[in-house]
A and B are shown apart, each in its own frame.
Chain A
Amino acid sequence: MVVEVKNLVKRYGDLIALDHLDMEVREGEVFGLLGPNGSGKTTAINCILSLLSYDKGEILVFDQPMRPTSYQIKKDIGIIMQNVAVIDELTVYENIDYFCGLYVADKKKRAPLVEEAIDFVGLNDFRKFYPKKLSGGLLRRLNIACGIAHKPRLIILDEPTVAVDPQSRNNILEGIERLNKEGATIIYTSHYMEEVEQICSRIAIMDKGRIIAQGTKDDLKNMIRIGEKITIECLTGDPNDLIDAIGELPFVASADAREKNLLVTTERGHNGLSSLVQIVHDKGIQTGRVYCELPTLNDVFLEITGKELRD
């Protein structure tokens, strides 16, 4: 096990930031920590890294207890923080070299690592630039390079795509997948469910300092009652006239009408699209677009907590 968190409790006065948190991260996986802002993701990461003190619990990294002075363990960890953590007065190259030098003292060994990190994040053309001259996306890439240059076995990324444009976000996500393919174990925290769904092999959903569900994305989606969300556009007639009839179908979890659209949620394991379309046609209503959506992690979060992930 790369990271093992047992019964972790962290309090800020009366506020319980981490409430008996249990978590395991396995070698070679991309582990996603998903939760709304304030759910305790960053606090959990900071406790794992021994940056924050905690009230109760046990943390093992690479099967050894994690302490602030566990320098042998720290050598194998790379951290990419939510806030860009670079030095404004050093160039791109110097920043990466400076932080890499904290892990790799030998300059000859360090130089190729720094070059590789620059290549990896695509900052070759900007190596002599100061951070203030970089765009937000490039700055995030520099932040990543500073965290991974020393080739860590465990990389922790704490919301690395906050305030990043879509193109840079895709670059970052692709980079994380590449790092994982090269053998690094990844812990990725985010409140963007699409990102977590895209890159994580296993996901833990956090709320109020607790993990409320965890598993693969399919495992998580199988935990909830709802199956597909079907939308039928009614070109003629009123979709409200269909709600009672559709609501009586055994596989329908809910039915609703919104403007010209009929919105139906089926129960997990059922589709029933053909039955629904048949009912609509039987009522003499002409249909336009008809489409199905699989449940998302937001649906999982909604069903478990009763609130939207982005609340």
Chain B
Amino acid sequence: MFFHLFIYRIKSSVRNVQLMFWTLAFPILLASFFGLAFSNLNKADAFSEIPIGVVKTGTFGADSTLQSHLDAVSSESDDPLLTITYYSTAEEAETALSDKQIKGFLVDDADGLHLHLLSNGLDETITKQFLDWYLQVSASVERIVRTNPSGAPAISGILEKNVTYITEQKTGANAPNSTLTYYYALIGMTCLYGAFMGLDQVSCVQANQSPAGARLNLAPVSKLKVFACSLCAVTLIQYLTILLLVAYLSFVLHVDFGNRIGFILLASFAGCCAGVSFGAVLGAVIKKGDGIKSGILIGSTMTMSFFAGLMQASIKYAAIKAAPFLAYINPAEWISDAFYALYYFDTYDRFFQNVALLFAFSFVMYLIVYAIMRRQQYASL
């Protein structure tokens, strides 16, 4: 009997165009859209050395401190910030700037050190920050030496001392990637779209929700048994759709999930259980038409995905900061955070916390469904 029900439920679910669109086609379309939109985002985030010019006038060589600072951040250093080209006249540097060979140039004339920039941008801001920092520090040192010469030996020690007020969390070897939040939230959304499957199964076994459900209630078999078989079937389908999505993200869009495949499968399964059970509860609790139920389902899952960072990654952090409670009741956040933790951290505490929350959520949802569906007769149909 189990096999009979299981196979037919798989057949009917896989052939349900609406169901397969929302659970498989839509996430893959969205993922492809993300792929197109984010293709250059990481390249833009990648830092490359900033080409600047330095005009070597007669006074420039006199300031050996500036030269040594420039050397410290130029291409010859271990951690280069700037690529420096030296010019003998300001006119040559001006020409290079207008030809966009350099982002700006430094000139040390009678009025002091000046930075000439062509436009505003990230590189220009960094260059200006560097120069401001140098001027500020050199002015401070000059003032201290002038007003308190005895304190001069301590200056270098103070300046070199780097005080941090942040505790460092040890991360794994994977490189930071700002687009991962979107993809992980997308997986969260897709897992929750398993709710369509759960919703459909409740409708198929409840006599007051569909004629086929009524026929099933008249058969010599417990509807809870039929429902359990159906849930096994649709959870398997939903799990396979998630694995397809993860495979598509990984192999086609080259989204990095790290290399802990067993844990990725576990997180996907926990997410599927949460999604299917959520839909089952909606189906059992809401006594309205299919359209209204689908609307509520899409609305609620999209809201959860929104707060998990699907539309804008910063929303995820803003929501956690403004209302930490939200993160603790949002299954989409648990799913995306499980993948996030798996990718970034060497330890598993955070990952297992999220997976445990997902299984606990599923268990509670199924308890509610059981409490509603164990009733054998209906007051009205």
A residues engaging B (CB < 8 A)? 12, 46, 49-53, 68-69, 71-72, 74-75, 77, 79, 81, 83-87, 89-90, 94, 98-99, 101-103, 105, 107, 146-147
Contacts and interface: CB of A to CB of B under 8 A. Distances in A.
Given A53-B377, A103-B219, 8 more contacts: A12-B379, A46-B381, A69-B222, A94-B8, A99-B215, A101-B5, A102-B219, A146-B215
B16 interface: yes
A71 B221 contact: yes
A147 B211 CA distance: 12
B238 to A, nearest CB: 16
B158 interface: no
18 contacts: A51-B218, A52-B377, A53-B377, A53-B378, A53-B379, A71-B221, A79-B215, A81-B214, A84-B211, A85-B210, A85-B212, A85-B214, A87-B8, A87-B204, A89-B15, A90-B8, A105-B4, A107-B4
Contacts of B120: none
A278 B221 CA distance: 69
Nearest to B215: A85
A268 B380 CA distance: 43
A102 B378 contact: no
Contacts of B204: 87
A99 B219 contact: yes
Contacts of B215: 79, 81, 85, 99, 146-147
A68 B380 CA distance: 15
B207 interface: yes
B377 A72 contact: no
In the A-B complex, the 8 residue pairs with the closest CB atoms: A68-B376, A85-B211, A71-B220, A102-B219, A89-B15, A89-B12, A74-B220, A83-B211
Interface of B: 1, 4-5, 8, 11-13, 15-16, 204, 207, 210-212, 214-222, 226, 376-381
Contact of A68 (B211, B226, B377, B379): B377
Contact of B1 (A46, A86, A87, A105): A105
A51 B378 contact: yes
B213 to A, nearest CB: 8
Given A51-B207, A74-B220, A89 B381 contact: no
Contact of A72 (B214, B219, B220, B222): B220
Contacts of A50: 376-377
B380 A52 contact: yes
B217 A87 contact: no
A49 B11 CA distance: 29
A52 B15 CA distance: 32
Contacts of A75: 220
A64 B13 CA distance: 38
B221 A87 contact: no
Given A102-B219, A102-B220, A105-B4, A86 B379 contact: no
Contacts of A46: 381
Nearest to A52: B378
A69 B374 CA distance: 12
Nearest to A67: B376
A86 B381 contact: no
Contacts of A53: 377-379
Nearest to B380: A12
Nearest to A97: B8
A98 B377 contact: no
Given A51-B207, A51-B378, A53-B379, A77 B218 contact: yes
Nearest to A80: B215
A102 B12 contact: no
Contacts of B219: 74, 99, 102-103
Contacts of B1: 101-102, 105
A71 B220 CA distance: 4
Contact of B12 (A72, A77, A84, A90): A90
Nearest to A98: B8
Nearest to A72: B220
A72 B220 CA distance: 7
A259 B298 CA distance: 64
A12 B378 CA distance: 12
B229 to A, nearest CB: 11
A103 B5 CA distance: 12
A51 B11 contact: no
Contacts of A71: 220-221
B5 to A, nearest CB: 8
Contacts of A12: 379-380
Nearest to A71: B220
Contacts of B381: 46, 51-52
Tell me which of A50, A53, A77, A87 has the highest count of chain B C-beta atoms within 10 A of its own C-beta: A87
Contacts of A147: 215
Tell me which of B212, B218, B380 has the highest count of chain A C-beta atoms within 10 A of its own C-beta: B218
A79 B213 CA distance: 13
Contacts of A86: 212
A247 to B, nearest CB: 50
